[in-house]
Structure formats: C-alpha cells, structure tokens
Structure 1
Amino acid sequence: MTDFEALDANLRLSWNVWPNSRLEATKSVIPFGALYTPNKVLPDMPVVQYEPVPCKSCGAFLNPYARVDFAGRIWICPFCHTRNHFPAHYQGISEQNLPAELFPNYCTIEYQLAHNKPVMPPAYVFVVDTCLPEDELATCRTALTQALQMIPEYAQVGLVTYGTHVHVHELGFAECAKSYVFQGSKEYTPQAVQDQLGLGASKAVRQPPSPAKPQLAQASPAARFVLPLSDCEFVISGVLDELQRDAFPTLADHRPARCTGTALQVASALMGACLPAGSCAARLLLFVGGPSTEGGGKVVDKELLEPIRSHKDLAKDSAPHFKKAVRFYDSLAVQLVGQGHSLDVFACSLDQVGLAEMKRAVEHTGGMVVQTDSFHNSVFKDSFKRVFAKPTEEGHLGIASNATFEVIPSKDVKVSGLLGPASTMEKKGVAVADAPMGMGGTTMWKLAGLDSRTTLSIFFEIVANAKDQQDASLAAQSSQEFFVQFITKYLHGEGTMRCRVTTFSRRWTDGTNLQDLIAGFDQEAAAVLIARIATYKMETEEDFDATRWLDRTLIRLASRFGDFRKEDPASFQLSPNMSYFPQFMFNLRRSQFVQVFGSSPDETAYCRLVLNRETVADAMVMIQPQLTSYGMGSTVEPVLLDVLSILPDRVLVLDSYFYVVVFHGTTIAQWRKAEYHLQPEHAAFAELLQLPMADAEALIQKRFPVPRLVDCDQNGSQARFLLAKLNPSATYNTSSSMSSEVIMTDDVSLQVFTDHLKKLAVQA
C-alpha cells in the first residue's frame, strides 16, 4: 500500500485507516471524507498521449493497484476483480516495460484525450452595471480596458450593460454603436432573448480552430455579439470609452433601478445561442455596484424606506424578496450548468448586492467571486487582473472548464455525496449511499469551471461487515485494503481535453482498535470537512444550531478517543494526532462561517463560497489564522493566536486569508512616529518595519481573491481586525499581568473551553 503521506499533494482524508464495519464507522464521529484538488499542478505527474484503459465491468481505469498477468496479457481490476484483456497496443508490456499508469509512484496520472468534437477559443462575456457613480464607472471601464489588452486576440468577447434596462451590444457592427434593449422589469426565457436578437432560428456554426490561432470559421448571426477580440477590439473599446451612467434619473429617496438578474438572464441566453454547450471555456463576468431593485432576482425595493435584508430578517422569514430571488438564480444556475458556462461575480459596493441570493448560481457553475467596497480598491483591481494572467506570469490561476468528476470505490464503500463548486449529474449505481451528504444520490458531478486550487469534499459511507471481511481475509490478503478512484475529465486551458485519474488505497482495521484509527487521523482535513458540513447545514436545515452541533461533535470525539479515567477531568489526554482538533473547533465556533452577528448575508455568503473551494491549507488559515512575530534582534517566529502575543516592542503579522494585518506594538509605533527609521544609525529598526510589510505583500501576491492589507498600531481603530481573531485569555474582567492588551469581550477563552470539554468528555 502506498503511504498516505505521499498523496498529500492533492488529496487529504479525514481518516487514513477505516474501521471494517458499518457499526464501528458510526462510532468514529468524524465523517469519512476526502478533500481532493482535481486540477492541482503536480510537478512529477506524467501527461501521456494516449487513452486510458477502462475495466469492462465497473469502468475504473488501469492503475498501479491492478494485478497483471504478463504472460496472458490480462489485468485484474482491484475494484471489482474482473479480468480484463490489454488492448492491442499494450502487446509489448512486461515487468521491465511497464506503461506509466502501472508505476507505483504514479497514483495520479493525466491522459491527453483525442478530440471528439471541435474546441473553440475561450469566451468572456462582460456584464457591466451602469448605475454606478461616475468615478466608480470610470474605474470599472479602465479595468475592463486593461483586461482586453491581456486577453489573447483570438479569444471571443461579448458585452452587456444594464441599469434600468439591459443593453446587448452588437460588436460585429463597426459603423456605429448599436445595441438591443431589453426591458429591465421583465423576465425572459432563453428562446425569447434569442428571437429578439435574431438568433432563434439558427445556432452559430463553428469550425475547429487551427493550432496556431483559433478563429471563427465564418460570419453567423451569433458572431454579431460574441466574436474574436481581433475582429471587434476597436468597437468594444469605443463602447467602453463612451459608456455613461444609466440615463434614467433616480429619485432622491430611491435606489437606482438596477436589473441585475434580468441582465444575467439575457447574457446567459446570449451565450447559450452563440457558444455551443461544452465547446469552449466560457465565463460570464458580472460587475455589480449595488442591489438589484428591478426584474428577476430583485433583492430590495427602490424606496430607501425598505432596508435590505439582514440575517435577522432571514431567520424570521421576513425578507419578502429572498426566496423568490433564490429560485430565480437557481434556475439560472441550471441553465448555465447545462451550457457548461461559469458565472463570476465582482461585487464592489458598500451596500449589499444580493450575493447571498446568487451564491448557488456561482457555486454550482464553479465561478469565482470577489467582494470589496469599491472598484477603486486594489482587492478588485489585482484580483481581476489575475483572471487573465498568462501561464508564465505570477498569479496564474490555471483555469480549466467543462469538467466531469466521477468517484469509483471498492464494493464495501459507498459515495454519500459532495460539497464544493459542482453540480450533480444524477448518475445512479450500486455505489450510491442511502444517506446523502450535500449533493448526494450520484457518483458523478459536473464542474463548469475549476482552477488549480478548486478542492472538492467527497463523503463516503462504510457498508462493510466485519464478519464478512474476516472470512474473506482468509481467502485473500488483499481484502485488508480498499481502493477509491477519482476520474476528472476536463477542457485544459490550452484547449486540449484531459483526463486526470487519481487512485488511492487505504487499509481496514478492527474498529475496536482505537490506536490504529487514531494513527490515521488527519486533524486538519477533519476540521475543514466539519466546517464545510456545518455551513451546509446552516443553509439547508431550519433551526440548526451550529455551535451546539460542533460542541456535541467534539465532546463525542473526545469521549470516544480520549485517554482518561471516568469522572477525572485532570486525567484527560488526547493523542498528538488529535491534540489540535479542539483548538480548531474553538476557532471555528468563533469564525465568520458560524457566527453571523455583525456580518451581512452577502459577507457570510462570500466567506462560505471561498471556504467551499479552497485547499486544506488555505481553509485552515480561514478557520485558524496564522500569527507571526517580528522583533529587534530576534528571529521571525510563529506565535500563539492569543492576546498574550501582543508586546509593545513587537510587530505582528496576522494572515486570516481574507485580510492580512500588520500590527505594530505601542513602542514600535512611537519609534516610527518619531521617525527613528529615517536616521542612519537606526538602520536595524528601518529593516524591522520593512520586513513584515514585505512578507505581507508576498502573501497577498500568491492568493486569489487578493486579501485586504490592514496596516495598524496597537490601540488604533483598525487594531480590531487583529483582536477579533485572538484567543481572549486576557479580558476586561480576567486581565493578566503578562498581557499588554486586553480584549473587551464576554467570550470564553481557549483554556475555559478546553476545561469544559474535559469535564464533559469524562462523564460516565
């Protein structure tokens, strides 16, 4: 069996040793799940130029765990034990001449598939809100103009603008600016949009691009609206240069008439007509600067007297537009997924824009989301540039599209479901578990868009029977292992179809052997899975108390796997493999994923969208931020996420994923204000100020969405960004003489939390 540590590059499991019966599996508390990054860049992964070899019975592909009869040219599938003949071109196979997929260290391999249909150049359709202040609109126009300079000239582009009404710009008409107008207060079917644009009768006829420069073959009705940048660069640049605010005036006590939902409906119908399903990597990019007040997907009325919905309104079911808007965007998601197109949202507004309603449309299409307060903000500008970064540039996202993801497990394992940026494909089979988790009832999902960090959570159900396994183990030692295979077929950014196959093996153990189970526990992967499950339950189950559920889960885990004497909290101990898990749960309980007080529904939706798609390492930074200390004459070192880590002569850097804080202690701040760092004799102090900022900038450069940089001093107003994440071991009523700072909170500290956990875990 391959050591599970070797697969951590793109795969993490909550448990790496599984109990051999359903009954013992239910006692393990933490779900059996995998966090898999299907498009991660792996430097040692081979890319071969031939088709994979499938099993004729279960469909699993040839892999290093297959048993091979070289004399008979036969391989035995480890999943269903079916004997398969090798295809003709494998006739030269031998123990000394193995194909790449049989090498033990190639558990992940990628195949470049032959094209079965034409692949067109990538397409970008920009949907721009014109109900913005003049300066905001000008900045948005500038960002779009810069993006057009970064896009390859063969890439296809389209432009839709909206305010009170929706304008679809005809980029193939160079004589003058020409657009088709749709009423913003109405909802349109795809057929109605296509008929009005003159696209209903015929779809665009495309030919495959040449390797050197993909192009459209001939003019067609669809080519008037979505066409190569080289053919319309002058027209689209002219439209953007002359783009004005929405011409319809806004009353003093009203919000602008903004028909965001209708604009997306029209744009998705346009893409469906111009870009055949699955033919290319197509993205619908929305730039929005305020709430939708008109047409489908409306989130608030135009009158300012009506406040936009809050979490309290959603809890009381007193948000009049919420459910209708969610249904609207769900139907839009179904349409986009069917077309294989992604929805990306760039929400730049101090007010909410309706991201909570759009959440499933973004997530199910594998879209990206960036949220900030203004188009002037570097969070928007830098993040938007990275969408179009070339493979050789820093910040390249490695975007792929039109992917299908399939899971094939051994017979004693079933697939419960998936959480992440995907949508179900309703593929039934014997491997589907009875109890679904997330998007369940299937073993295959569709990912309209994915990048090199997109990480899926796959949940499994153990259906093995311990007695059957013991009987089988007498006949075959291989039954002590089980296997799972992930198959991802996708359209690579280069325009080629790829199939990535990851096969892994783990072993069964007697469920009563707790030390064996503990040895295979991955506490970081488990924490991320629990976080994703908690946020999913908060959104789908009424009256779900996430804090109580997390506490009960942790108490059950501690009671099951802790080492203690009954009724003696002082004797409680956890194995090193589990020792940090209570700390992770403590920080998760306090995080913006669970605690919605002080956050808007849009902010909560944004954070959860990012949590559900990022890797284990990045998700752990969101759950438990990292704190680093810098001091004069001392080394740079990580420190506890605790208020006691604040010292007057230290600079702290907090990485919480969504923002990076550079925090100066009181003494450091006073020295800086006295400008000591400008004096030659204090060069060491100048270096101390520069190093944390340089490290913070390095963090920002490698992340998408780009985090906000907060530069603050102790006792300053923005110090709250740091204090909100620290363990409140020193508060206004429990201040410690060792602390130079106290936190004004009634929250319990990690020590109190741990003491209560021990007390409850050891109860009889």
Structure 2
Amino acid sequence: MPQFSTIEYVIQRGPQTPLVFLYVVDTCLEEEDLQALKESLQMSLSLLPPDALVGLITFGRMVQVHELSCEGISKSYVFRGTKDLTAKQIQDMLGLTKPAMPMQQARPQPQEHPFVSSRFLQPVYKIDMNLTDLLGELQRDPWPVTQGKRPLRSTGVALSIAVGLLEGTFPNTGARIMVFTGGPPTQGPGMVVGDELKVPIRSWHDIEKDNARFMKKATKHYEMLANRTATNGHCIDIYACALDQTGLLEMKCCANLTGGYMVMGDSFNTSLFKQTFQRIFSKDFNGDFRMAFGATLEVKTSRELKIAGAVGPCVSLNVKGPCVSENELGVGGTSQWKICGLDATSTLGIYFEVVNQHNAPIPQGGRGAIQFVTQYQHSSTQRRIRVTTIARNWADAQSQFKHIEAAFDQEAAAVLMARLGVFRAESEEGPDILRWLDRQLIRLCQKFGQYNKEDPTSFRLSDSFSLYPQFMFHLRRSPFLQVFNNSPDESSYYRHHFARQDLTQSLIMIQPILYSYSFHGPPEPVLLDSSSILADRILLMDTFFQIVIYFGETIAQWRKAGYQDIPEYENFKHLLQAPLDDAQEILQARFPMPRYINTEHGGSQARFLLSKVNPSQTHNNLYAWGQETGAPILTDDVSLQVFMDHLKKLAVSSAS
C-alpha cells in the first residue's frame, strides 16, 4: 500500500438514488435548429440508464413544465415568462412535496424507485416512447415576432422553475439541469437585452462605460439561482448555439459555481454541438457515465501549512479551522468546497502558504503533509470517498536553494498563476492583472536567476525555470486576459474552460502547440513563432478551442494546381492528408469539440494562426522582408525577444 497515494472507498450504506436529467429547451429557434436539437435530445434518451429520471421544460414567451406520466395526451403547466417565483410558489403550483419515505416501505420492484411519484420526473424505461413523441411534436414558440424585434425568451424564469422543481423533489441527489438556448433572454428576470433589434446586446465597450443596463440585475438573478443549485448539490449545463451573443456573461456563474458544462456554438445543427453533446454521455469500460455528482472536497494539512483557497468549478462550504489561512487566494476562508458536477478532467487549483508556528523554525528533515478527501456520488449511484495523501520534504530557503530550484515544476506554476490571474480578471481591471503578473515574474527572476547587477547580458535561468517567462508572455496575449476582439460571451466561455481543465490542456490554452509537415522529414513540433510559417510547409495548430490547418504559399499553389491527383505525386497527396488525419484524432478525443479551421497563405482565416504566433518578424523588421525566414506579421505587439530583453533589464536592476 505505501506506494499508492490515492485510495477510493465505496460506501455500501445509505439509499442509492437514481440520476436526474432535466432538459430546459428554448423553442424560439429557427425551424432547422429546433429540428436538429430535438433529434439530439431524442438520441440522448437512448444513452441514459433505464432507471435515470428525466424531465422536460420548454420556454419561449411562456414557460411550460411538461407532465410525463400522462398516457396518450400532452399535459403541461404554463407559467408567465415575466414573473419570478419563489421556490415555495413553484412547488405549490406544481403540487410538489419533499420526498419522504414511509416507515413501513415495501421493497421496491427492480428498476422502481420510491420517489418516482413526481409527475414531472419519470424513469426513462417508463416514458421513453412518450417523451420521444413529445420531443418530436415540439413546435416553435407560437407567439408572432414582428419585424425588427427579437423573440421574447424567458430563460431566467425557466431556469428558476427548473431549480425550484429539483429543489422540491430531489435535494442533495445527483442531478443535471441542461439548458439549451438559441438567443439572449429578452424578458422577465434575468433578461440581458430588450426585444428591439436596433439596440445591440452589450459589448465590452458598453460594460467599461457602464452602459450595460440589464447586466447587474441579470447577473444577480443567475448568481442567486446558481447558489441555490449548488446548495442542493445539482449542476447546470448551458448549451448556447447562436450567431450572436446569448447572455453567457450573465449566466456563466450557473455553470462555474455548480461544475456544469458550458458549450458555445453557431447552431444546434452543427457537428460541433452534436458530437460534443453526445460525448457528455460517453461511458467507461464498466458502462458507467464519465461523470460524478454532489462532491465535497476537504483538504487537511500538517501544522506548517495553511490553505489559502481554491480556483475551479467549486463553491465554499465556509468551514473554518486552524489550517485555514487569513490570506485568501481564489475561493478562500474554508477547508471544504462543494463541487456539484465532476468528470475525469475536472481540476481544481489549491493554494497554500507556509507558516511558522510561534516563530519556531520548520524542522529540518521533516515533511509537510496534505490530504485531499473527496466524497461524491458516482454515476453508478454509489457513494464513494477518494483520499489522496502526499508528503514532501522541507528545504531551507538559504542552505538548500538548489533543492528548491530542482524541484520547481514550471508548467504547474504557470497554470496556477494563470488560474489566479483569470479568477482576478473577473472582478478587476485587465491592466492591473497584467502588472501583477509582471511583478510576480520579475520577483521570480530576481530570486532564481543568475546575473551580475546592472548587466542584462549576464542573466541566465536554469532549465527548471527557462520556459516560465515564455508561458507568461503567451498568457499576457491570451483571450483569458485580453478581451480585445472577443465578445463578453466568448471571454466567459474561454475562462470557464480554463478554470476546470487539467494541466496539459491548460498549457495548450496558454501556449498553443504547432506541428510542421513538409517533405524534409516526419511531422515535428516547431516554435510558436512567425519564423515557422514557411511557403513549403503545412502547419497544424492546436489552441484547445480551435484546430487550425494552414497551407504555406507554395503548398497551396500546388494543391490548387491539382498535383495531388496526379499518380506520380502520390507523396504530395500523403503530405496533404497527414495533418487532416492528425486533426481528426484530436477532434475525436477533445471535449468540448474544437472548431475546425482549414486555411492557407493569404486566406481570411489565416488570422487565427497569425494572432497566436510570436511576432518575431513584423513590418518593422525590414530585414525580414524578401528572405526565407518566415512570414512577417503586421502587428504592433512586442515579440518574445523584446519581452525577454525588457524582463532581463528589470530583473538585474537595483531599482526594481
């Protein structure tokens, strides 16, 4: 046992409750979009376990809660989309009572559950056909939409009813509220924009000028719903597919605080949405969903360590104790967090500080210990406890400096700093975050760099630290901290995924991977630099959110000339196919499915590649023109070389 740091226990006692899936569907969609969404929902029913409970709420101008226990007739409860209701009002109107098990309960039949009396949430095996027909018969919202107006969409009330419904029937049970929306909420509590099309939805410019009139009120509404949902141990997924913004900025807390998924696309009729949605229901080798529910994470430490906080899809349980630090980083002031939705890649960043008890020195040769205890409901409905215990040697900051240097994990450090920066970016000004990151980077270089005072040319970083400044350079340019050219919804979407992905995926988001394909050898990773863009190369860039295939100028001309179709140029055909095959492999494995972009030299979508590479050659470096040293980038952004030169000057300066 000593070699295993993690042990998982299965709890045998206690009732096993079924999983609950509540679909909340926008009917103000175009006919084609609605049809595609209905087909995806019907497909998902076949992937659910037979005893899983499922419910349906549809919304447009009104909100309808569909009763699923009726045979042969469609019956629903209709709510006005302009009036917010308390949890008690919703439960009274729907005739819900808290589930209570009678003292003398007969043994339930196989696949029966004592709580299935709810008319709105029924086991899949009972209502599979009925619900499939009901979904098939769903019509577009019947209320007419006059020219120049947006459809009236009551997303805020629909979500409020969904939260109240589960609150009254299955508190503290694994449940997903899955919201499918094709536009912004335009009426009632949680509205993000009015119905006049001539008034556009808020932009970053409006937010900076304090012109986003609905934003604060809407955000407050969704935060209240998110906190109620988290208290009940349920999670909220948001699937937003539209060409314009849908209000993700205001609704982001629903997914962020409850551990739900956020998926953003152009249409429900795209493979991006269809395949991403299907992957949510993927199963492991035991036939169980790769998802878990209602988790609590408790962190315990030895007395030399205190917990500063966590950043990720969690909410604080406000459990104080001697191991909780007064200096908060992220969601702090607690040693326990609730994570309502988990999957195999869900990752939290946990921050600690080292404290000396009553000025007593930390014992040399001693070890600091941390234990993570995660209790959760597995998708097989079992309760499980996963315990991870780690211990690390203490090192003296003066005498054992080399030990500390050798043990530094620059990839993990970059992601942890980035998470903290992104967390702060939600509530602080962008330039302030960049200045804070720069200060931390300069301090690190002063502490661990080797240099002579006031001599930038003498500055060196050991291999353990050499990549860290490069990560910070790309982080400063990333869409997580730069909102220019991104809508508020896009920024919220990118930040949501960055706060929950594991180390490898997070690094790809910070510094995308670039692969080169050419006749000079097998595919190879190359520098994310403009010098890598050559005429006789094909490049594949993985940014996590996009997969970009870029054909160099010469390759693009050969392709247009059709050389790949001539038998004696078979090797050219294979060269063109290789990046496409590798891209497919990434597309099949990634969640959510990335956007696939196929472009070439001079193509309009080449901007996706040009905006990410380090601009080592720009229109200002005139010597680069006309040489085979890569493509010059038309930008005023500083290059990595200029950034590093400036960093070295500041690190060796006595004044900084």
Whether the TM-score (by the shorter chain) exceeds 0.5 is: yes
**Distance (whole Å) between structure 2 residues aligned to residue 204 and residue 310 of structure 1:** 48
Q: Is 2:354 the counterpart of 1:449? A: no
- Contact persistence 2:298–2:336 (CA under 8 A): yes
- TM-superposed deviation, 1:203: 3.3
Q: Measure how far apart 1:273 and its partner are.
A: 2.0
Matched with 2:190 is: 297
After superposition, the Cα gap between the structure-2 partners of 1:161 and 1:437, relative to the gap in structure 1 and judged at 3 Å, is: same
The AA in structure 2 aligned to 1:141 is: K
Q: In the aligned structure 1, how far is the partner of 2:126 from the partner of 2:101?
A: 17
- Find 1:646's aligned residue among 533, 539, 544: 533
CA distance in 2, matches of 1:732, 1:296: 50
* One-letter identity of the residue aligned with 2:315: S
Task: Tell me which residue corresponds to 1:578.
Answer: 465
2:400 equivalent to 1:504: no
Aligned equivalents of 1:526 and 1:153: distance in 2?
Answer: 44
The Cα shift of 1:547 comes to: 1.9
> Percent identity at matched positions?
45
| 1:318 CA drift (Å) | 2.1
Question: Is 1:204–1:273's contact at 8 Å kept on the other side of the alignment?
Answer: no
What displacement does 1:514 show? 3.1
User: Relative to 1, partners in 2 of residues 1:722 and 1:230: Cα closer, same or farther, differing over 3 Å?
Assistant: same
SS in 2 for 1:509: coil
Matched positions, count:
649
Report matched runs for 1:201-600 at 5 Å. 201-203=97-99, 214-217=111-114, 220=117, 222=118, 224-275=119-170, 277-279=171-173, 281-392=174-285, 398-464=290-356, 468-469=360-361, 472-473=363-364, 477=365, 480-512=366-398, 513-541=400-428, 545-600=432-487
Q: Is the contact between residue 253 and residue 304 of structure 1 (CA under 8 Å) also seen in structure 2?
A: yes
> Which residue does the alignment assign to 1:108?
6
The separation in 2 between residues aligned to 1:195 and 1:213, in whole angstroms, is 31
Shift of 1:315: 2.1
Residue range with higher mean Cα deviation, 327-336 or 149-158: 149-158
User: Which has the higher mean CA deviation after the structures are superposed, 734-743 or 239-248?
Assistant: 734-743
Cα 1:740–1:209 change in 2 (3 A) is farther
1:206 CA displacement: 9.3
Equivalent in the alignment of 1:161: 58
Contact kept, 8 Å, 1:204 with 1:274, in 2: the verdict is no
1:523, CA displacement in angstroms? 0.7
* Distance of aligned partners of 1:246 and 1:716 in 2 relative to their CA distance in 1, 3 Å threshold: same
For residues 300-345 of structure 1, the C-alpha deviation after alignment (integer angstroms, 9 at most, x for no partner) is 1111232211112222222111111111111101111121111001
Aligned to 1:128: 25
Moved more, 675-684 or 749-758: 675-684
Q: Which amino acid aligns with 1:401?
A: F
Picking from 527, 530, 554, the partner of 1:667 is 554
Indicate if the aligned counterparts of 1:366 and 1:422 stay in contact, CA closer than 8 A: yes
The 8 Å contact of residues 127 and 284 in structure 1, kept in 2 or not, is answered as yes
Offset at residue 675 of structure 1 (A):
1.9
Q: 1:742 corresponds to which residue?
A: 632
Match of 1:37 in 2: none
Q: What is the CA deviation profile of residues 600-620 of structure 1, one whole-angstrom value per residue up to 9, with x for unaligned ones?
A: 111000000000000011000
CA deviations on 1:335-375 (whole Å, 9 max, x unpaired) are 11121111001110111111111112211111011111111
Once residues 206 and 723 of structure 1 are traced to their aligned partners in structure 2, the CA distance between those partners, rounded to angstroms, is 66
- In 2, Cα distance between equivalents of 1:433 and 1:714: 53
Secondary structure of the 2:463 match is: coil
Unaligned stretches of 5+ residues in structure 1: 1-102
Structure 1, residues 435-460: CA drift from partner, whole Å, max 9, x if none? 11111111001111100000001111
4+ residue segments displaced more than 6 Å = 206-212
- Relative contact order (C-alpha < 8 Å, sep 6+): which is higher? 1
Distance change in 2, residues 1:542/1:626 (3 Å)? closer
Instruction: Write the deviation string for residues 473-492 of structure 1: whole angstroms up to 9, x where unpaired.
Output: 5xxx5xx2110000011111
Write the deviation string for residues 219-268 of structure 1: whole angstroms up to 9, x where unpaired: 62x2x110011111122112111111111111212111001111000011
- Equivalent pair of 2:256/2:496 in contact (CA under 8 Å): yes
| Pair 1:627–1:209, CA change in 2 (3 A) | farther
Tell me, yes or no, if the aligned pair for 1:386 and 1:397 is still in contact at 8 Å. no
- After superposition, residues 605-684 of structure 1 pair within 5 angstroms as 605-684=492-571
Q: Which letter does structure 2 place at the counterpart of 1:237?
A: T
Look up the match of 1:177. 74
Summarize the Cα distance change of 1:420–1:219 in structure 2 as closer, same or farther, 3 Å threshold: closer
User: What is the aligned partner in structure 2 of residue 22 from structure 1?
Assistant: none
Q: Compute the displacement of 1:515 (Å).
A: 2.4
- CA shift at 1:542, angstroms? 5.3
How much has 1:738 moved relative to structure 2? 3.4
Task: Give the match's secondary structure for 1:695.
Answer: helix
Q: With structure 2 as the length reference, what TM-score do the two structures score?
A: 0.96
Amino acid at match of 1:486: F
Measured after TM superposition, the shift of residue 679 of structure 1 is: 2.2
Unaligned runs of 5+ residues in structure 2 are none
Does the 8 A contact of 2:454 with 2:649 survive in 1?
A: yes
Distance change (3 Å), C-alpha of 1:466 and 1:510:
farther
Counterpart CA distance in 2 for 1:553 and 1:314 is 28
Q: Deviations over 1:667-702 (max 9, x none)?
A: 211222222222222221111111111111111111
* 1:61-80 equivalent positions in 2, closer than 5 A: none
